[in-house]
Structure 1
Amino acid sequence: MALTDKQVLFAQEYIVDLNAGAAAIRAGYSEKTAYEMGYENLRKPQIAELIQQMMDERSKRTEITADMVLKEYAKIGFSNITDYLKVEQKEMATESGNIVTYKTVDIFETDMIDRHKLDAVAEIRQTKEGIALKLHDKKGALDSIARHLGMFNDSLKVDATVTKKLEEFFS
């Protein structure tokens, strides 16, 4: 069975943001039924196959692969602040002879850091207190990697017993 124009448009819209409900609305489905229709469309083998084909074509066109994206996430997810700076504990004698312990933080010169590790750096800036170093969201990257590897089960399981007929609610 051939796909309808609306189903093809749904597939085109779905690959924009991977949001089935929003794609259904943009494809012209009623807002009242869009989320249900989006879900149903994703379960239809012909539509799922078309979506996969479109995503594969886009991947070839942009030359971006899942492996490339996963490697970028890994750079962020497995980054460590000690790759960029060194914290040392030092001691100093005060005028009264007491020993005071303090810590120093030295940021490594960027040309001394592996270029791939620099990809995890979101920002380096000068502040009143010194230099601030901010890394990209490590937890977000690790969550994305874990989701890709199937480590999370994002489905919601509903276990319920229906005791009334639908008609009883409307009478």
Structure 2
Amino acid sequence: MPTATLNERQAAFTRHYADCLNATMAAVRAGYSKKTAYSIGHENLKKPEIAAVIKRLLEAQAMPREEVAARLAMQARANMSDFLIEVEVPDGKDESGNPRTRRMVVPDLLAAKKAGSLGLIKKVKYGRDGLSFELYDAQAALTTLAKITGLLDGGASDPDMEAEPETGDEINVTAEQLETQAALEKAAGHG
């Protein structure tokens, strides 16, 4: 719906720009010609009435400090072990020609989705060992959370706390690794 100072296409441009933050793409989505979308998009951004609407839309979309802290806390506490399942997969044939299977532990992304935990996953890949995924780095989330809550008073005095880890927690577990871990825990009296 156009505002008092914007026509329908300009109003559509503001909505699309707030979604994608790309003037050319927003212009095309708003119905402007692909040939002129680049120049129209950038001209629209310079118009005060359009800029004001975009500013209001972006402010409405902004994440409040409390939500940022809550999301960082979720990343810091992330434990995807609840979303691992054991499955049997074909593994060729035995000496007699009968089908052989092996057990494998894989991530259950559907369970993670149902639990609302997919946003904790940074990367998913499928390789020769099956599906694996990487979580956002819990240490980086803790450091950022400590900074925004004032726990670090503007910075860490411990140099190890300032270093950003290179990768997050990657989960790619085989059934054999789980069996070994279970045997070790049982031998240590924990299982």
TM-score band by shorter chain is 0.3 to 0.5
Larger Rg: 1
TM-score by length of 2: 0.38
TM-score by length of 1: 0.41
